[in-house]
Chain A
Amino acid sequence: MSKSFEELAFKPLWQVAGMLEKREISPVEVTGMTLERISKINSVIGAYYTVFEKDAMNSARQAEKEILAGDYRGPMHGIPFGVKDIFESGPTTAGSRILKDYIANEDCTVVKKLKDAGGVLLGKLANYEFAAGIPTLSSYFKPTRNPWNLEYDTGGSSSGPAASVAGGLAYGSIGSDTGGSIRFPAFCCGVTGLKPTYGTVSRHGVFPLSWNLDHVGTLARNVRDCSILLQASSGYDPLDPTSSKHPVPDYCAKLGQDIKGKRIGVPRNLFQENCGEESLSSFNKAVSRMEDLGAVVSEVETVTFSQMWAIFWLIMAVDSSSYHIKNLRKRPEDFAPDLRFLLAQGLMVSGPAYNTIQRARRVIREKVLSLFKKVDLLMVPVSGITATPIMKEPPTNYNPGENYPIYSPLFNLSGTPALALPCGFSKKGLPLGFQITGKPFDEATVLQAGHAYEQSTKWHEMHPVLGG
């Protein structure tokens, strides 16, 4: 693949948008190049389950016509993007044998919105089964490979959305996040992932994992690109009963503003017990950088890892069990073993216990929200460990217990906006990252802080070298 092709593939979405608006390049050229790259590289990393080559080129031609006619719709116009395969749009497998032949009758709301904004849908991106079951080499749908090291997993569950963006096979993607399913793969693949406030982006037409914790969000190679994708995706949807009527702000409004005087809280009690050395070291450097940029950093206290994990896991288990109960009765063997375990575990929880768990969730949410009386933002690592090697077979122990040091579920429980950003690499060359959260519906400040950090580093400009 030529150098200019490679350069175009890894250009930020916002820069390509500028080139499209000025007619320096056409949507047909950008889409054609991306499809060619997919045809060469997707067989290696497996980011896409389905590629809509013909439809994408038709959309690109339409976008080209509109832009040439002076009808430019905005920064998504003519931009190729992908969507996780739990979002309804054409063939929608959810990464499960159960849905291997399912074809959606219509597009989910977020795909409709992005298409209305002029976006070019490239295809359906791989994911962990129903956003939970970890794929192995023996799975029906094979695991996506990490573009930074093909022997490693991408993290999940938005594996394809993260890998496609990291590998230059899309300028942005849409994922879902129940306990970190946008932020963890973003972390593992060295890209930027944004889980907005609960209810910001419609979940209509998205296969649920947990009604209480599911969020739809964006992945891209930098903060501004995530903001552009969110702008085009968000807004009230009467078809989603949990959709928020909160007005949609300008998510890019504060990008470029400094963070002098911003108060950042670091709740070390959440992660100090089980965060690995490399992740902690890169996180601490990111905290220092925020101080260098003028932020006022202080230690705060939140719930413990065990408290977070207990409530997160129990809600996810019961909610997903409730959703999948019919197939669990009829065809349990068609679920990945670890997913089947999760679903069955949800059946072990009684009604009164679930009520208690929901009340405990409210307590956790209030504890997080109370911190925003003292600080503007919170900073924590995404995970205590980096990406792990792809497994050949499912694990013999299905219960991860609290042995999985991931700190993202806290902000699913709080429903607050959370942004994951790259902040370095491990000794093995695998990406590391951290996350920032803020007050509900204050994505603009979270993005402002993330952007300030990002612009003071080069991590977001780095990309893996893939063949083709």
Chain B
Amino acid sequence: MDYYNLVELKLQEAGVTLGDYDKQQLAEAYPDLLRWQKIAESLIEDETEPALTFKMKSGDDNE
């Protein structure tokens, strides 16, 4: 599915109607959005739940 269709679907789901130019802009910016979400994922790479659990068990969080 291309980004334009994805944008249309998501707007529809939210009950928002926008013009074609706006949707094009959102579609063009979609790769940025995905890239930023990947950055967010990479920032929490060391913060997975098992690691947090281990930290809590070993008392590291109380340092």
Contact = CB atoms under 8 A, between A and B. Distances in A.
Interface in B29-57: 29-30, 32-33, 35-37, 39-41, 43-44, 47
Contacts of A356: 37, 40-41, 44
A348 B16 CA distance: 12
A332 B16 contact: yes
A328 interface: yes
Interface stretch (A117-125, A135-143, A292-300, A393-401): A393-401
Contacts, number: 89
A103 interface: no
A306 B39 contact: yes
Given A348-B26, A349-B33, A357-B37, A328 B16 contact: yes
Overall SS of chain A's interface: helix
A360 B42 CA distance: 8
Nearest to B23: A344
Contacts of B25: 341, 397-399
B40 A311 contact: yes
B41 A345 contact: no
B32 A401 contact: yes
A353 B13 CA distance: 17
Contacts of A401: 29, 32
Interface residues of B, number: 27
B26 A353 contact: no
B39 A311 contact: yes
A314 interface: yes
A344 B29 CA distance: 11
A364 interface: yes
B43 A341 contact: no
A310 B39 contact: yes
B11 A363 contact: no
A344 B44 contact: no
A190 interface: no
B14 interface: yes
Given A329-B16, A340-B18, A363-B44, A345 B26 contact: yes
B17 interface: yes
A10 to B, nearest CB: 43
B53 to A, nearest CB: 15
Contacts of B6: 348
A353 B37 contact: yes
A347 B37 contact: no
B32 A359 contact: no
A314 B40 contact: yes
A389 B57 CA distance: 56
Contacts of A360: 39-41, 43-44
Given A311-B39, A399-B29, A399-B32, A332 B17 contact: yes
B59 interface: no
A21 to B, nearest CB: 49
Contact of B18 (A311, A325, A344): A344
Nearest to B36: A310
A337 interface: yes
Given A306-B39, A329-B15, A348 B47 contact: no
A363 B41 CA distance: 11
Interface string A95-133: 000000000000000000000000000000000000000
B22 A341 contact: yes
A307 interface: yes
A309 B28 CA distance: 18
Contact of A311 (B16, B28, B43): B43
Contacts of A309: 36
Interface string A349-381: 100010011011001100000000000000000
Contacts of A359: 40, 43-44, 47
Contacts of B47: 359, 363
29 contacts: A303-B43, A306-B39, A307-B43, A311-B36, A311-B43, A314-B36, A314-B37, A314-B40, A325-B14, A328-B16, A329-B15, A329-B17, A332-B16, A332-B17, A332-B18, A332-B22, A341-B25, A347-B14, A349-B37, A353-B37, A356-B37, A356-B41, A359-B44, A360-B39, A360-B40, A360-B41, A364-B43, A398-B22, A399-B29
Closest 3 pairs (CB-CB, A-B):
A310-B36, A360-B43, A360-B40
Interface of A: 303, 306-307, 309-311, 313-314, 325, 328-329, 332, 337, 340-341, 344-345, 347-349, 353, 356-357, 359-360, 363-364, 397-399, 401
